[in-house]
Amino acid sequence: MEKMMGSLCISITGAIVFGSLSNGFSSQDNIWKHLTKNTENEVYLANEKCINILDMYTRISSENGVLSMNKEYLNNIQKLSEIGNLPENWNGYTATTFSKEFIGYLKQNILMLDKQPEIFPIAYGNVQFEYDREDGGYLEFEISPDSVIKCYIEEPDGEYKEYPIADFNMINQEVKNFYGI
């Protein structure tokens, strides 16, 4: 199935495509679903413009001439859009809203991550990325609108570390260390 979105033609397979890709991901996300014989974990793109634009946001794999992007990435883009649309006082306890610039920054950088996190809004305007291991280990990154990233690690034995990190590339490294990759 193909949908026209601006000047982009996107073929969708069992996943979700968000927003107007010609200007990055928009806050008004359009969602289309189409199930076919292909896997439900991939989105297939069928246009050279899609390749060029999406390449700015993520590493896209190509197999048999079909380009694909993991569904986890797209789910996190949707989650960030939902966070960006939260109203003032969204938690009932004076929570703040999230700026479009901050959400755009997160959307651009989330696609750089090799392993996608669970994403949660924080009432005072930061966003939290979480990773859990089966042994009870916990890794968290708290990201502020001014691009400050704090890393928190708790091991099953109770050992706890907290420290700042420089950027999303360091998030990748911390995640690899956490999972022993």
pLDDT in tens, 79-95: 999 999 999 999 999 99
Q: What six digits make up the tokens of 42?
A: 């991939």
What's the rounded mean pLDDT across residues 107-123? 93
Q: Which of 136, 102, 135, 134 is nearest to 119 (CA)?
A: 102
As beta bridge partners, residue 67 has: 45, 62
Provide the whole-model pTM: 0.66
CA angle centred on 83, ends 82 and 86, rounded to 5°: 90
Place of tokens 């306890």: 93
